């Protein structure tokens, strides 16, 4: 029986459950013996002139080995990164004249022990003359206060052109809705951490918590002006990433530089409050959607305008609108689609990737727009969707926004989820509660989504894998992907086991070490299985071919008469199992090893539909999610246990964005959510158990038929829950509530509507 | 100052700073790295261990105040032959962990939940684990794991003596 599609429990778990995983801060390594601790001093002011940094008292504190300020650094500033960004928008390693966000690096202290670093950092006297802070994209766009006066603008980049004035001409109904896709924090439970040690050979080994060792290595070498061959980067076990651990962080490179200066290894592990101001954050788009069409429910034109808050310094967040724009058409066959975006600098933490990275923002916009359109024409939102969905297709389908989808059946996904949820009965119950005027009103919200995964725009279409069988019958897989909870060790072993017959527990999967795996794209954008897994699959097939050639000599047979014998994990003569030679025996004579590379023919487009049921207390405004029913079609599933786990985790994060989570700043740019006591991280009590509906539409793009699954849950659930909350109070006149739908926001929307205001 | 603490069945005496947190004592002084620190505010529960029979967040306890106490960490749960504690086994079979960072604290807190209530409902499990945050699993499989462990009997709510 094939192991594919079976619920194999994880091989990594026994260690994780008895001794714990080994995260960067857990490392015990001879190379790190006697390591110093780095403690960063960060700006407490969002925007200001840096008048002085006095480190004299800190330098005298117990355990202090060195304190660095801007004048002690001879490194070139971090580059603005992308060609469209004004070159003046570069970031110094330590602030020199200006601080630009609360969390900007001002100084760094090296001490013998961690507690001493906290003490000494307190003694660094930082004098800042505050400037007006730019906190919103609306303020940034006025250019009245400039973060980089030399650039002459706060606009980091623009994409496309505004919609022509006549874009909606001829539509019977046109609805325009501003939508805030709020800033959220990734909050992996393991905060950022790194360690660096230089060897006598002039090479530096850097350990850090990261989603892709090879990319991080390249960035660090570039920033520090090192030959890439001088850098070895290792990602040990990683305690969650969610996109925020893609690429190097300046702190990682800096710690490597400090280790060189100090002539000793250096470690850094940040606190949670440091993480909540220093790590890249996500989403942060101010959108305006306009949707126009006929009263029969047909949409004729749709436009999306985006102001991306990019934060203080240019990072990957500034280009995320391009993904949002690519996915503007979503699952709909709208005849006319338009999008336009700007990325703006503000005195806030920089924006990067967060689970879905640019794609959830596209789905959230269009799904909210469709509900607004449905409300305007008085039609059931499911009906409006059915009228506009792209019909089932098996051949590539190119959208108006320029994406070419592989396979899809969106109507089936919607119908399955509505059927599983009992949609008609839920609507009847909603009507009864409205009729009675219950305090707890029912809201139904749906979304139909498609996302792009494994795209070669920045994620990398190719992936490396190597596979070796050892004489003792075990095997080793090297992969360029980089798991941080996804369970690659188990799934990649399943893919090799499927071809070779070697049991999963005898296959070791190694990742995240650039000396052992020079090429790799890491784990991001839901690319791992469809590219890294496909590479392992290909490596296993190539290893079988190699083994057949070797076995032909041993068995004195024609290679064409040989076949894999899964039962004995070897090669046998066709039709006579057990008579051949095992892979282990072949490996005794000479190494049985293949290195390969798989390049996908293109990205894939997983899709699905979610139905959320909420109860809203109209007296208090509190919304509670009571059911979430979801179809997530990611093509062929290798390990359903792990795929379901990915879906659950995605739902939680998506629901949390709709109901709870938000990074907040005051008008002066002071973060209001810089601890987990303030940041509303979702706990077990706010969530129900989830109802999963299966649907499988394989992709022809890779031999596994697999699409990405890591971000699906997040993308579908946010608009479903958001729409459900608005739906629960729509009979009171509410048309829109911005996320997160907190009790205060919902209550205010109800009050406003009842006083006759439009939302 | 000197403290004497029984950690996973072994009594030890150490000289510690009065301000040293129990979490750091376990990690740095004892070298037991399973206990993780995920926040500064007793919010996430990744550092949860069992002290004298109660699950507590070790980042809010001073090592000094644990003088004379008995502490069990994740490393102290499995049997000498490697046999998993029922809670460990249930977390594995139900896929109740992904990145694993919250897991040591989550397992210890879950044992605490069953210690108080050997047969909890889903809702009671969720309320019992409210102080432990997980970013990966959506809690769905963690709740299942705790219910599954409860079926193993009273041992699922106890730590080895």
pLDDT digits (tens, 9 = 90+) for B72-96: 999 999 999 999 999 999 999 999 9
pLDDT at A650 over 90: yes
CA dihedral B40, B43, B45, B48 (to 10 degrees): 70
Q: Is the ipTM of this complex over 0.90?
A: yes
Interface-testing mutation among A63, A188, A189, A270, with chain B (most B C-beta atoms within 10 A): A189
A615 and A704 co-located in one domain: yes
Taking an 8 Å cut-off on Cβ atoms, the answer to whether B88 and A642 are in contact is no
Taking an 8 Å cut-off on Cβ atoms, the answer to whether B88 and A17 are in contact is yes
B17 contacts on A by Cβ (under 8 Å): 115
A313 and A445 co-located in one domain: yes
- Domain tally, chain A: 3
Task: Please report, for chain B, the start and end positions of each structural domain, with discontinuous segments joined by +.
Answer: 2-76, 86-157
A713 contacts on B by Cβ (under 8 Å): 138
A28 contacts on B by Cβ (under 8 Å): 31, 33
Q: Shortest CB distance from A9 goes to which of B92, B134, B135?
A: B92
pLDDT at A258 over 80: yes
B107 contacts on A by Cβ (under 8 Å): 17
Minimal CA separation from B84 to chain A, in Å: 8
What pLDDT, in 10s, does the model give residues A30-85? 999 999 999 999 999 999 999 999 999 999 999 999 999 999 999 999 988 788 89
Domain end point (choices A568, A599, A630): A599
A708 and A620 co-located in one domain: yes
Q: Which CATH architecture has domain B2-76?
A: Roll (3.10)
- The average pLDDT across B138-155 equals 97
Predicted pLDDT of residue A198: 98
Q: Please report where in the chains the tokens 């009590």 appear, as a residue.
A: A685
What pLDDT, in 10s, does the model give residues A698-726? 999 999 999 999 999 999 999 999 999 99
What pLDDT, in 10s, does the model give residues A328-344? 999 999 999 999 999 99
Taking an 8 Å cut-off on Cβ atoms, the answer to whether A13 and B92 are in contact is yes
> Which of A138, A139, A135 is CA-nearest to residue A178?
A138
A638 and A687 co-located in one domain: yes
A642 and A738 co-located in one domain: yes
Minimal CA separation from B32 to chain A, in Å: 8
Domain end point (choices A599, A625, A640): A599
Predicted pLDDT of residue A759: 52
Taking an 8 Å cut-off on Cβ atoms, the answer to whether B44 and A272 are in contact is yes
Q: At what angle do helices B103-116 and B140-150 cross, to 10 degrees?
A: 50
A23 contacts on B by Cβ (under 8 Å): 36, 101
| Fold classified for B86-157 | DNA polymerase; domain 1 (1.10.150)
A398 and A319 co-located in one domain: yes
- In terms of CA atoms, which chain A residue is nearest residue B137? A649
Residues 463-502 (A) with a CB less than 8 A from some CB of B = 484-487
Predicted pLDDT of residue A577: 79
Residue A56 lies in a domain: yes
Predicted pLDDT of residue A80: 81
Pull the structure tokens for residue B94: 């139900």
Taking an 8 Å cut-off on Cβ atoms, the answer to whether A684 and B125 are in contact is yes
Taking an 8 Å cut-off on Cβ atoms, the answer to whether B138 and A687 are in contact is yes
Helix (H, G, I), strand (E, B) or coil at A597: strand
Q: Label residue A590 exposed, middle or buried (CB < 10 Å: 0-12, 13-18, 19+).
A: exposed
Q: Please report where in the chains the tokens 């188990």 appear, as a residue.
A: A490
A405 and A509 co-located in one domain: no
User: Does the predicted TM-score (pTM) go above 0.95?
Assistant: yes
Q: Shortest CB distance from A240 goes to which of B99, B126, B141?
A: B99
Predicted pLDDT of residue A82: 83
pLDDT band at A361 (very low <50, low <70, confident <90, very high): very high
What's chain B look like in SS3? CEEEEEECCEEEEEECCCCCEHHHHHHHHCCCCCCCCCCCCCCCCCCEEEECCEEEECCCCEHHHHCCCEEECHHHCCCCCCCCCHHHHHHHHCCCCCCCCCHHHHHHHHHHHHHHCCCCCHHHHHHHCCCCCCCCCCCHHHHHHHHHHHCCCHHHHCCCC
Predicted pLDDT of residue A460: 57
Q: Shortest CB distance from A645 goes to which of B38, B98, B132?
A: B98
The b/e string for B122-148 (b: 16+ C-beta within 10 A; e otherwise) is eebbbbbbebbbbbbbbbbbbbbbbbb
A481 and A534 co-located in one domain: yes
Sequence-distant (6+) residues with CB within 8 A of B76 are: B7, B8, B9, B159, B160
Residues 234-293 (A) with a CB less than 8 A from some CB of B = 237-240, 242, 271-273
DSSP tag of A756: T
Which residue would you say has higher pLDDT here, A538 or A759? A538
A188 contacts on B by Cβ (under 8 Å): 99, 101, 135
A608 and A736 co-located in one domain: yes
pLDDT band at A576 (very low <50, low <70, confident <90, very high): confident
pLDDT at A625 over 90: yes
What pLDDT, in 10s, does the model give residues A97-113? 999 999 999 999 999 99
Predicted pLDDT of residue A459: 46
Pull the structure tokens for residue A133: 């802070």
- In terms of CA atoms, which chain B residue is nearest residue A272? B39
Domain end point (choices A81, A102, A131): A131
What pLDDT, in 10s, does the model give residues A211-226? 999 999 999 999 999 9
CATH of the domain at A492: 3.30.365.10
Predicted pLDDT of residue A428: 98
Predicted pLDDT of residue A454: 87
- In terms of CA atoms, which chain A residue is nearest residue B108? A17
* Mean pLDDT (chain A, rounded): 96
Residue A122 lies in a domain: yes
Minimal CA separation from B68 to chain A, in Å: 24
Minimal CA separation from B130 to chain A, in Å: 6
Helix (H, G, I), strand (E, B) or coil at A214: helix
Taking an 8 Å cut-off on Cβ atoms, the answer to whether B41 and A486 are in contact is no
Residue B105, Cα to own-chain centre: how many angstroms? Answer: 4
Taking an 8 Å cut-off on Cβ atoms, the answer to whether B93 and A484 are in contact is no
What CA–CA distance (Å, rounded) separates B124 from B122? 5
Q: Shortest CB distance from A17 goes to which of B46, B84, B98?
A: B84
Residue A387 lies in a domain: yes
- In terms of CA atoms, which chain B residue is nearest residue A642? B95
pLDDT at A457 over 90: no
Taking an 8 Å cut-off on Cβ atoms, the answer to whether B100 and A648 are in contact is no
A642 and A748 co-located in one domain: yes
Predicted pLDDT of residue A79: 86
Minimal CA separation from A242 to chain B, in Å: 9
Q: Shortest CB distance from A649 goes to which of B126, B136, B143?
A: B136
A309 and A352 co-located in one domain: yes
Q: Shortest CB distance from A9 goes to which of B31, B93, B138?
A: B93
Pull the structure tokens for residue A663: 């990074």
pLDDT at A458 over 70: no
> Which of A163, A738, A686, A695 is CA-nearest to residue A448?
A695
Minimal CA separation from A683 to chain B, in Å: 6
Taking an 8 Å cut-off on Cβ atoms, the answer to whether A18 and B122 are in contact is no
What pLDDT, in 10s, does the model give residues A596-623? 999 998 899 999 999 999 999 999 999 9
What pLDDT, in 10s, does the model give residues B34-45? 999 999 899 999
A238 contacts on B by Cβ (under 8 Å): 99
Taking an 8 Å cut-off on Cβ atoms, the answer to whether A272 and B38 are in contact is yes
- In terms of CA atoms, which chain A residue is nearest residue B140? A689
pLDDT band at A136 (very low <50, low <70, confident <90, very high): very high
Q: Shortest CB distance from B135 goes to which of A23, A189, A641?
A: A189
- In terms of CA atoms, which chain B residue is nearest residue A691? B140
pLDDT at A290 over 60: yes
E-strand stretches of A131-262? 155-159, 173-185, 193-198, 204-208, 231-234
What pLDDT, in 10s, does the model give residues B25-66? 999 999 999 999 999 899 999 999 999 999 999 999 999 999
Structural domain span for residue A684: 281-453+603-754
Minimal CA separation from A487 to chain B, in Å: 7
A91 and A70 co-located in one domain: yes
Residue A160 lies in a domain: no
What CA–CA distance (Å, rounded) separates A489 from A486? 9
B76 contacts on A by Cβ (under 8 Å): none
Q: Shortest CB distance from A689 goes to which of B38, B97, B122?
A: B122
What pLDDT, in 10s, does the model give residues A145-171? 999 999 999 999 999 999 999 999 999
User: Percent of chain A scored above 90 by pLDDT?
Assistant: 96
Minimal CA separation from B4 to chain A, in Å: 22
Minimal CA separation from B104 to chain A, in Å: 7
Taking an 8 Å cut-off on Cβ atoms, the answer to whether A190 and B141 are in contact is no
* A257 and A223 Cβ atoms separated by less than 8 Å: no
Taking an 8 Å cut-off on Cβ atoms, the answer to whether B101 and A188 are in contact is yes
Residue A12 lies in a domain: no
Cis ω before B147 (30° cut-off from 0): no
Size of interface A-B (CB pairs under 8 A): 174
Q: At what angle do helices B86-93 and B140-150 cross, to 10 degrees?
A: 140
Residue A16 lies in a domain: no
């Amino acid at each position: 029986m094939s192991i594919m599609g079976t619920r194999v429990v994880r091989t990594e778990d026994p260690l994780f459950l008895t001794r714990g995983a080994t995260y960067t801060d857990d490392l015990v390594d001879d190379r790190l013996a006697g390591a110093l601790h780095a403690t960063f001093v960060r700006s407490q002011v969002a925007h200001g002139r840096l008048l002085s940094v006095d480190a004299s008292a800190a330098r005298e504190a117990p355990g202090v080995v060195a304190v660095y300020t801007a004048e002690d650094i001879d490194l070139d500033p971090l580059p603005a990164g992308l060609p469209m960004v004004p070159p003046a928008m570069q970031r110094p390693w330590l602030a020199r004249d200006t601080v630009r966000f609360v969390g900007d690096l001002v100084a760094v202290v090296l001490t013998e022990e961690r507690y001493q670093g906290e003490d000494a950092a307190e003694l660094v006297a930082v004098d800042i003359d505050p400037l007006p802070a730019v906190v919103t994209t609306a303020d940034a766009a006025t250019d009245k206060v400039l973060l980089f006066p030399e650039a002459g603008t706060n606009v980091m980049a623009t994409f496309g052109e505004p919609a022509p004035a006549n874009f909606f001409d001829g539509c019977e109904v046109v609805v325009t809705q501003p939508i805030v896709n709020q800033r959220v924090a990734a909050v992996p439970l393991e905060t950022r951490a790194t360690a660096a040690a230089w060897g006598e050979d002039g090479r530096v080994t850097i350990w850090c918590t990261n989603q892709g060792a090879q990319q991080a290595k390249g960035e660090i070498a570039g920033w520090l002006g090192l030959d890439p061959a001088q850098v070895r980067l290792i990602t040990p076990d990683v305690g969650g990433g969610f996109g925020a651990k893609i690429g190097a962080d300046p702190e990682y490179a800096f710690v490597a530089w400090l280790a060189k200066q100090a002539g000793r290894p250096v470690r850094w592990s940040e606190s949670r409050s440091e993480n909540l101001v220093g790590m890249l954050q996500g989403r942060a788009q101010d959108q305006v959607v306009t949707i126009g069409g006929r009263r029969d429910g047909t949409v004729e034109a749709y436009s999306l305008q985006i102001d991306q808050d990019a934060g203080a310094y240019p990072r990957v967040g500034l280009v995320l609108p391009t993904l949002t724009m690519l996915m503007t058409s979503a699952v709909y066959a709208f005849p006319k689609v338009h999008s336009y975006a700007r990325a703006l600098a503000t005195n806030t933490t920089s924006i990067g990737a967060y689970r879905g990275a640019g794609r959830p923002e596209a789905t959230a916009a269009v799904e909210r727009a469709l509900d607004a359109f449905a409300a305007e024409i008085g039609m059931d939102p499911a009906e409006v969707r059915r009228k506009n969905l792209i019909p089932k297709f098996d051949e590539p389908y190119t959208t108006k926004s320029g994406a070419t989808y592989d396979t899809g059946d969106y109507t089936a996904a919607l119908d399955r989820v509505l059927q599983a949820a009992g949609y008609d009965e839920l609507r009847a119950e909603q009507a009864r509660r409205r009729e009675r005027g219950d305090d707890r009103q029912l809201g139904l919200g749906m979304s139909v989504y498609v996302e792009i995964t494994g795209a070669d725009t920045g994620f990398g279409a190719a992936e490396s894998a190597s596979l070796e069988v050892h004489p003792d019958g075990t095997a080793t897989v090297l992969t360029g992907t980089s798991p941080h909870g996804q369970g690659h060790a188990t799934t990649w072993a399943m893919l090799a086991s499927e071809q070779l017959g070697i049991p999963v527990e005898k296959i070791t999967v190694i990742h995240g070490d650039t000396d052992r795996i020079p090429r790799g794209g890491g784990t991001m954008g839901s690319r791992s299985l469809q590219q890294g897994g496909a590479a392992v699959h290909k490596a296993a097939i190539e290893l079988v071919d190699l083994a057949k050639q070797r076995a032909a000599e041993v068995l004195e047979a024609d290679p064409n008469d040989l076949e894999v014998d899964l039962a004995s994990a070897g090669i046998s003569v066709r039709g006579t199992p057990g008579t051949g030679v095992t892979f282990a025996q072949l490996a005794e004579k000479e190494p049985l090893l293949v290195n390969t590379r798989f390049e996908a023919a293109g990205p894939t487009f997983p899709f699905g539909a979610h139905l959320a049921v909420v109860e809203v207390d109209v007296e208090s405004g509190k919304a509670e999610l009571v059911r979430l029913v979801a179809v997530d079609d990611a093509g062929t599933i290798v390990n359903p246990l792990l795929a379901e786990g990915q879906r659950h985790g995605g739902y939680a994060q998506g629901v949390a964005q709709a109901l709870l989570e938000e990074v907040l700043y005051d008008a002066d740019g002071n973060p209001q959510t810089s601890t987990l006591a303030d940041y509303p991280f979702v706990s077990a009590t706010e969530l129900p158990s989830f109802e999963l509906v299966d649907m499988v539409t394989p992709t022809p793009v890779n031999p596994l038929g697999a699409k990405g699954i890591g971000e699906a849950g997040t993308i579908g659930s946010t608009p479903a829950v958001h729409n459900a909350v608005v739906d629960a109070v729509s009979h009171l006149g509410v048309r829109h509530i911005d996320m997160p739908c907190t009790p205060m926001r919902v209550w205010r929307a109800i009050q406003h509507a009842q006083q006759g205001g439009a939302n | 100052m000197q403290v004497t603490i029984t950690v996973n069945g072994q009594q030890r005496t150490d000289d510690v700073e009065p301000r040293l947190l129990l979490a750091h004592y376990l990690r740095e002084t004892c070298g037991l790295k399973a206990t993780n620190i995920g926040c500064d505010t007793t919010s996430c529960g990744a550092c949860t261990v069992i002290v004298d029979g109660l699950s507590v967040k070790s980042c809010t306890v001073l090592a000094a105040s644990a003088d004379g106490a008995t502490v069990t960490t994740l490393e102290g749960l499995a049997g000498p032959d490697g046999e998993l504690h029922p809670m460990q086994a249930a977390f594995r079979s139900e896929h109740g962990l992904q990145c694993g960072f919250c897991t040591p604290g989550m397992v210890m807190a879950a044992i605490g939940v069953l210690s108080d209530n050997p047969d909890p409902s889903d809702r009671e499990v969720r309320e019992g684990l409210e102080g432990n945050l997980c970013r990966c699993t959506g809690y769905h499989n963690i709740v299942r794991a705790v219910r599954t462990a409860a079926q193993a009997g009273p041992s699922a709510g106890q730590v080895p003596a």
